[in-house]
Chain A
Amino acid sequence: MYSKIISCGILGIDGYIVEIETDISNGLPGFDIVGLGDTAVREARERVRSAVKNSGYEFPLKKITVNMAPANIKKEGSSFDLAIAMGILASSGYISQSAVQKSMFAGELSLDGEIRPVKGILPMAVCAHQNGIRYLFLPEENAREAAVVKELHVIPVRDLRETAAIINGEIEIRYFEDAGGEKGPVYYDTVDFADVKGQENAKRALEVAASGGHNCLMLGSPGCGKTMLARRIPTILPSMTFEEALEVTKIHSIAGILPPGVSLVNTRPFRCPHHSISDTGLVGGGSVPKPGEISLAHYGVLFLDELPEFSKKALEALRQPLEDGVITISRVNASLTYPARTTLICAANPCRCGYFLDEPGKCTCTPRQIQQYLAKLSGPLLDRLDLHVEVTPVKYTELESDKAVESSLEIRKRVERTRKIQLERYRGLSIYSNSQLQPAMFSKFCRLDKKCRSILKDVFERLGMSARAHSRILKVARTIADMDMSEEIRPVHLTEAIQYRSLDRRVWNL
């Protein structure tokens, strides 16, 4: 007998409908799954066989063929177990085929018929809703995640027996009720810019970075507070819209890093991979493609601590996604696109011993060693970092002082205001923040008056500024003007922007 059950596969960060067709016919007993499944899918045979048997059903001693359509896309993972089992039950007549037409099934089976949680439930739920499916049967643990899609009836199930009973109407359906109040993982509920004493210059620079979405490099001696500052950046980024949160949650769901019980990631992610990470780990990929750290930091912050320690290959791989905001991974069967719109914050020591920026005499490096160390930083990646922030250690007296320090909330309000100005200005264009301005747009959005032009000329001639700084300065000056709610860029904005280009200046060539 033939039956058709609907399940869902994942491609990139989106789900697609997979029809599980099951045919049981006379012939030599056997169980085949076709339709480009990976090892996990092939192994589903054994799990399904045992689960069906141990749930009290008779596993048909006939020739069983399962086809997963569309058959030309590679299917991965264990989430098809439940659907395959349901197909066999339907084909054997244990459940009615008509009852499951508008339902989708996802879940992994254990040998005794229990249903285990799977990755990527949110994109499946979204896909189900988009394809007019009304019921989603899924593992209990995943229910809250799927409940984000309000229009869908989410039915959490514990085991195979219960699932069949619900379909046959033997027990009442328990829809999942979102208890509400379950917030996403709060990466930074305990940190606040109010904790950072002193460091006014660095804080201001990070506010500029947050306001314009600029990538930023922090340089400073070990223990001067680079990491402390970086961890607080998400707290001043504008809060996410529902669409943004949905997209981030999808990515986290696929990567399987969504904490249990969390429905929606509604705080901006902060990712800080260790410097031993591979290029694949950073941008995504692998034989079973997974989103990399840059995608996990989508709409949030990717923090690379000890930048020069990262492998050259990994850093090179970052360049294209940083520019495009997406990363495309091509495989024989498909090419996947993961979103990767992130603010990159890097931290590095200024020299090998780390103390070059502190008071003179503390650094033990020779000028040549410093140059060699900085040469590691230079190159194309440095071209994508708009701000260079020099961070110097705070004096003890400042740690002690009880002078009022601005909280993240206050700063965030300003950042949100500045972002809004940008969104309105760039409406209709394909960009959303000053950091994405293209050189062609400078004449329209970054016009400089005569005074500004003469300052800029002076700076390039007298301070030995390198030419690549030019467009960076304009973008950052635009952001500073926006923070000041000024339509035109004034000298005071421009000069501040120039001060954030330390590495392009002669200051460092002692």
Chain B
Amino acid sequence: MELECGENVMTSNLKYWIWLGSLVNTTPARKYRLLQYFRDPALVWEASEAELEASGLCTKKLISSLKDKNTRNETERAFESLIRCDAEIITFNDRAYPELLRHIADPPLVLYCRGKLEPEEKRVAVVGSRRATWYGLDMAKRLARELAEHGVTVVSGMARGIDSQAHKGALEAGGRTIAVLGCGIDKAYPPENRELMEKIMQNGAVISEYLPGTEPVRYNFPARNRIISGISLGVTIVEAGEKSGSLITADYALEQGREVFAVPGNINSHNSTGTNRLIRDGAKVVTCVGDILDELKVSHDSKNTYSVNKKSALMKLGKEEKTIAQRLLNGPVHLDVISRDCGISVQMASSILLMLELSGFVEQLPGKYYRLVE
């Protein structure tokens, strides 16, 4: 069914793809069915009202917006500025279009891409809440790093919190990572991630189904989640509260037949309600990266050796330093608590912690919390 087209035809055709892809008054699924019916967006463009009506896919409203002159003119303009932008435009029929994505119920017709999509790579999504705890942030980073070390590409949404940490973890390991945005790919959102976005483009790709220039509006984000799960073999939810957006990604993953992994959390923590419920409902528990790699049939020899490694590193420290470092094994602790639990005066503890910080063992968090460096 693929339309084998020459390069020139492609370019001239591109306009129609972009037009149909960026049409706002309908759902991606409806657009996909239009494409299937007419075979080519150019034919949709040219179709008469009667033909559109005959397809049985169009409401009156949709027909009028398909025929709308203004939208068509706007597309012309957008197309011209697109040609100048360095974005790569990948249409549904292109070979570069991710194969996995092609088979979901409502694939985006066009993907705008900066960076490079590798067709053969194994992708796993690592997503979670924007307002995460230290535990969630750490786990996201560690899992992403270890996935990347095993050659898996980490997909996420570049949002604050878990998503950003996932990208950072993959980059730290020198691996590939893909960010799926809910706005145009010329926009860094959230703005503090501009630098991160540059790095992702160099070591992977930033993709979006929205035209460059699209503002990050709220209702775009749930829709982009279907792409996150759509291009991945599995989705890992690291931390999600009761109503986290990452649970939408998990729902899409189930719909699309992807693996769903969840990192267990403290049952009292409202930041982990969502992930714990996923586990109860059958998601695969992730206690180390091996749990994900097993499902992907990637060979590995990893076990959860985290706490063992940390403990052995601490054996080399002096007595008081060791007491303090051991108190930090289970996550960040406040200075006052360290001092009380270790029986060391607060000024002494503070002094020791700075020395541990200088030697790279611990790091200080806002609010005089301290934790071990991984």
Contact = CB atoms under 8 A, between A and B. Distances in A.
A201 B346 contact: yes
A455 interface: yes
B160 A366 contact: yes
Contacts of A480: 347
A366 B192 contact: yes
14 contacts: A350-B366, A359-B133, A360-B133, A360-B134, A360-B137, A361-B132, A364-B131, A368-B192, A390-B367, A458-B358, A459-B354, A480-B347, A491-B351, A496-B354
B33 interface: no
A200 interface: yes
B348 interface: yes
A495 B355 CA distance: 8
Interface stretch (B38-46, B275-283, B294-302, B335-343): B335-343
Contact of A495 (B191, B334, B351): B351
B346 A357 contact: no
A223 interface: no
Given A495-B355, A496-B347, A499-B351, A201 B335 contact: yes
A368 B191 contact: yes
A498 interface: yes
A291 to B, nearest CB: 37
Best-buried of A360, A367, A491, A498 by chain B (most CB within 10 Å): A360
A350 B365 CA distance: 13
Contacts of B174: none
Interface string A323-360: 00000000000000000000000000010000011111
A496 B357 CA distance: 13
Interface string A453-467: 001001100110000
A462 B364 CA distance: 13
B364 A360 contact: no
B367 A358 contact: yes
Contacts of B364: 505, 507
B366 A507 contact: yes
B351 A507 contact: no
A200 B369 CA distance: 14
Contacts of A392: 334, 336, 367-369
List 6 A-B pairs, minimum CB-CB distance, nearest first. A357-B367, A495-B351, A200-B346, A495-B354, A361-B131, A499-B350
B271 interface: yes
A204 interface: yes
A396 B303 CA distance: 38
Given A200-B336, A201-B368, A390-B368, A499 B191 contact: no
A458 B190 CA distance: 33
Contacts of B190: 366-367
Interface residues of B, number: 32
A302 to B, nearest CB: 25
A300 B355 CA distance: 35
Interface in B315-372: 334-336, 339-340, 346-348, 350-351, 353-355, 357-358, 364-369
Interface string A198-219: 1111001000000000000000
A492 interface: yes
Interface string A473-510: 00000001000000000011001101100100101101
Bin the interface of chain A by size: 35 or more
A510 B164 CA distance: 12
Interface of A: 198-201, 204, 350, 356-361, 364, 366-368, 390, 392, 455, 458-459, 462-463, 480, 491-492, 495-496, 498-499, 502, 505, 507-508, 510
Given A200-B339, A201-B350, 20 more contacts: A200-B340, A204-B346, A204-B350, A357-B367, A361-B131, A361-B271, A364-B131, A390-B368, A455-B355, A458-B358, A459-B354, A462-B358, A491-B351, A492-B348, A496-B347, A496-B354, A498-B354, A505-B364, A507-B366, A508-B366
A507 B365 contact: yes
B258 to A, nearest CB: 27
A496 B334 contact: no
A199 to B, nearest CB: 7
Given A390-B366, A390-B368, A507-B364, A204 B192 contact: no
Given A204-B347, A496-B350, A356 B192 contact: no
Nearest to B269: A361
A356 B368 CA distance: 12
Contacts of B355: 455, 491, 495
B357 A463 contact: yes
Interface in B94-153: 129, 131-134, 137
A496 B368 contact: no
A316 B350 CA distance: 33
A434 to B, nearest CB: 16
A495 B364 CA distance: 14
Given A495-B354, A496-B350, A499-B351, A201 B132 contact: no
Nearest to A367: B192
A455 B358 contact: yes
B137 to A, nearest CB: 7
A372 to B, nearest CB: 12
A448 B371 CA distance: 29
Contacts of B336: 198-201, 392
A510 B350 contact: no
Interface in B144-184: 160
Contacts of B134: 359-360
B194 to A, nearest CB: 11
